[in-house]
Amino acid sequence: MKSRRVIRVCKMGVVGYLNSLKLQERLVSSRKAGEVPDTLLSLQHPPTYTLGKRRTDHNLLVSPSDLARMGADLHYTDRGGDITFHGPRQAVLYPIISLREIGLGPRRYVENLESTMIELASLYGVEARPGGSAETGVWVGDRKIGAIGIRISGRVASHGLAFNVNPDLNYFKHIVPCGIADKEVTSLQREVTSSTTLDEDDVEDKLISCFIKQLGYTDVVHEHRDSLLPTEAEAK
């Protein structure tokens, strides 16, 4: 007999990085207070570079003014992990969940996120693997397809994973992704053998399903983006 576990899923489309940080902070507080169930945000970001708690600026290879010219943002965050890029056609999942209730420590939770992406890739016939000890993330051969960076506060996790469906990989040339030099970045579109263009909505749905299955949720509640995000006017 399996106990019931609820996940609230919200597909948000494109969300600015700062707005997503504020939303996550609110959700983490609410989750700690037991006011909301485990919540999964599924979204994409406009072109954005982010750094983790260790502030590894040396892995950003261009200047802030170059970034502005590219139309990309830069943000410093409290998540684990090194520098990475987020952009259109990269699927991002931010699970705001109580690790205490699921009974997962940080390492096992990260492994679950890796497995989620590996499973998704396999649905498209792509064989991915977790990284070695210094290379957390998901790889296809020697090419990185998925990244992870999470923050745990009071045993509630935030931030999450980023899976390259078909982003513009040139953006990755301006950083040493995750601080790992000499390794390529790839995408699901690049790795699929079929010549068809991937349906991004379909990939998003499958990624969400893989996560739900991997983390053992039994019940899914869907939330509309408008009820979680403030209006543009409120955001300013």
Partner 1 sequence: MALRMWASSTANALRISCSAAKSAGLSPSFSITRCFSSVLDGLKYAPSHEWVKHDGGIAVVGITDHAQDHLGEVVFVDLPEAGGSVSQGSSFGAVESVKATSDINSPVSGEIIEVNTKLTETPGLVNSSPYDDGWMIKVKPSKPSELDSLMGSKEYTKFCEEEDAAH
148 binds partner 1 (CB under 8 A): yes
Among the listed ranges 12-20, 90-98, 151-159, 183-191, the one in contact with partner 1 (CB under 8 A) is 151-159
- Give 7's strand partners: 38, 220
User: Cβ-count burial of 67 within 10 angstroms (0-12 exposed, 13-18 middle, 19+ buried)?
Assistant: middle
Residue 43 C-beta: closest distance to partner 1, Å: 19
Site string for partner 1, 69-88 (x = CB under 8 A): ---------xxxx-------
- Rounded Cα distance between 184 and 204, Å, is 23
Pick from 136, 186, 187, 189 the residue near partner 1 by CB under 8 A. 136
* Nearest distance in Å: CB 148, partner 1: 5
Judged by CB under 8 A, which of 54, 69, 129, 224 binds partner 1? 54
Site string for partner 1, 179-198 (x = CB under 8 A): --------------------
Reference 15, options 88, 113, 68; nearest CA is 88
User: Would you state the structure tokens that stand for residue 157, as one six-digit string?
Assistant: 């996790």
117 lies in the binding site for partner 1 (CB under 8 A): no
- List the one residue out of 169, 211, 166 whose CA is nearest residue 7: 211
Encoded tokens for 165: 């469906």
Of the candidates 132, 122, 215, the residue with the CA atom closest to the CA atom of residue 163: 122
Rounded CA separation 139/135 (Å): 9
Is there binding between residue 213 and partner 1 (CB under 8 A)?
Answer: no
In the residue annotation, 10 being an active-site residue is answered as no
- Is there binding between residue 137 and partner 1 (CB under 8 A)? yes
Footprint of partner 1 (CB under 8 A): 52-54, 78-81, 102-110, 133, 136-137, 148-155, 157
Residues with catalytic annotation? 178
